[in-house]
A = this chain, B = another copy of it.
Amino acid sequence: MPFSMPDMGCRARAASRRMAAAGAGAKAAALHAVAHRLDGDRGALKAANAEDVERATATGLDAPLVDRLVLDDRGIDRMCEGVRQVAALPEPIGAIAELDYRPSGIQVGRMRVPLGVIGIIYESRPNVTADAASLCLKSGNACILRGGSEAIRSNRAIAGSIRAALEASAMPTDAVQLVPTTDRAAVGDLLGLDGYVDVIVPRGGKSLIERVTRESRIPVIKHLDGVCHVYIDADADFDMAVDIACNAKVSKYAVCNAIETLLVAADAAAPTLPRLKERFDAAGVELRGCERTRAIIDALPATEADWGEEYLAPVLAVRVVDGLDAAIEHINRYGSGHTDAIVTKDYARSRRFLAEVDSASVMVNASTQFADGFEYGLGAEIGISTDKLHARGPVGLEGLTTRKFVVFGNGELRQR
């Protein structure tokens, strides 16, 4: 049978109905069966992956991208362990909250339910296939997965193992479907399935996210930029401020929760900038400073473009600002609404920063690099959303669910 995207959508919708009705125990058991099957199929998975790697190398794919593609025994172990961890998470579906009686006599509450069908579009790493599928299954959804073309054989093998485990567990195999082609048009077809797919989660580079956002007729949960800030207040503990600013940058460079700009209150500049300069020099971080920064320490001159830049590299923009108001204004203007922190001992300013910085995560006296689903206790992470609607910040299983109203009555009629 030739592949048809609407047909895939239709089967996903049907499978999602069965998944929504599946009990907590059945879902957990199925996920354990998936982990067991992936483990048992490791020979086939490695063989399929070897073909992908060979072809990628032959076509001259960059070495770091080939590295990301490789699925070895350790990677398979980790993939299976990840599925088991998802299986062990608390059941996210069915809880009813705020169940209160109303004057009419009806009792109204809100039940957490699956979204339905999740479309996931991702690049390179084949382990995402198992990762994404297990999160969708745990949350009672069906998913349509569209991986990168370099990983198509690995992804097919992984999806095949998952579907076999679902079948053996009497769960709907079409709850996990992989788009079988590497045809670029298939992404567009998936983004147009608004009758069948409830949300699209793109995971990958900025150009992928932008394309998906532009073309999708389906709501998108996305992560665009991570232009994060630490602001060192005049009343900061300067030792703490230096530690946090350094950790927020150098703990890891290529992560979205690393800071790209450091803001320093004018009164905090002389006590902190020379020490920061020393620490960043030692770590090999290039500093780009405003005029007031460069009056205190050596740094390349920062241009207007630096304030909005996501370097994802050992480069940091530094700006001296008059105080809290200027810091909040800078962050709300140039930031990406991802994660921003203040270092201060001042109570009122800590509260104003939390309330007025319009970002998904706002922190007092902590490193921005804590902004992820595991550190926040979500148990799992689909991604970090820089949108404001539905899911904001690190997204766990809850982001793949919604709430519906449930009403318990005893024959009540509406009086008009």
Q: Which of A284-335 contact B (CB under 8 A)?
A: 332
Q: Are A404 and B116 in contact (CB under 8 A)?
A: no
Please state if A389 and B115 are interface contacts (CB–CB under 8 Å).
yes
Q: Is A362 located at the chain interface by the 8 A CB criterion?
A: yes
A198 contacts chain B at the CB level, 8 A cutoff: yes
A387 neighbours in B (Cβ, 8 Å):
219
Q: A243–B406 contact, CB under 8 A?
A: no
A104 to B365, CA, bound (A): 13
Question: In whole Å, how far is A350's beta carbon from the nearest beta carbon of chain B?
Answer: 8
A224 to B106, CA, bound (A): 26
Check B389 against A390 for contact (C-beta < 8 Å): yes
Q: Is residue A268 contacting chain B, with contact meaning CB distance below 8 A?
A: no
B370 engages A106 (CB within 8 Å) = yes
Chain A contacts with B in 331-380, Cβ cutoff 8 A: 332, 341, 352, 354-356, 358-367, 369-371, 375-377
Q: Please give the distance in Å from A358's CB to the nearest CB on chain B.
A: 7
Tell me the minimal C-beta distance from A112 to chain B in angstroms.
11
CB A78 to nearest CB in B, in angstroms, measures 17
* B388/A402 in contact, CB under 8 A: yes
Minimum CB–CB distance for A324 against chain B, Å: 12
A356, B369: Cα distance in complex, Å: 40
Q: Please report whether the interface of chain A is mostly helix, strand, loop or mixed according to DSSP.
A: mixed
Task: Of the listed stretches A52-60, A84-92, A165-173, A407-415, name the one at the interface; the rest are far from the partner chain.
Answer: A407-415
From A21, A408, A411, residue with most partner B Cβ within 10 Å: A411
List the one stretch of A61-69, A156-164, A179-187, A244-252 in contact with chain B: A244-252
A73 within 8 A of B: no
Q: How far is the CA of A199 from the CA of B392 in the complex (A)?
A: 14
Question: How far apart sit A369 and B415, CA to CA, in the bound complex (Å)?
Answer: 9
**Alpha-carbon separation in the docked complex, A367 to B106 (Å):** 10
With contact pairs A104-B375, A219-B219, A244-B413 given, residues A20 and B405 touching in the complex (Cβ less than 8 Å): no
Most chain-B CB neighbours within 10 Å: which of A243, A367, A390, A404? Answer: A404
Cβ of A100 within 8 Å of any chain B Cβ, yes or no, is yes
Contacting residue for A388 out of B21, B102, B115, B371, CB 8 A: B115
A interface residue numbers (CB < 8 A to B): 17, 20-21, 94, 100, 102, 104, 106, 108, 111, 113, 115-116, 198-199, 219, 237, 240, 243-244, 247, 251-252, 332, 341, 352, 354-356, 358-367, 369-371, 375-377, 387-390, 392-394, 402-414, 416
Q: Could you show 5 A-B contacts with beta carbons less than 8 Å apart?
A: A20-B356, A244-B413, A354-B406, A370-B407, A388-B402
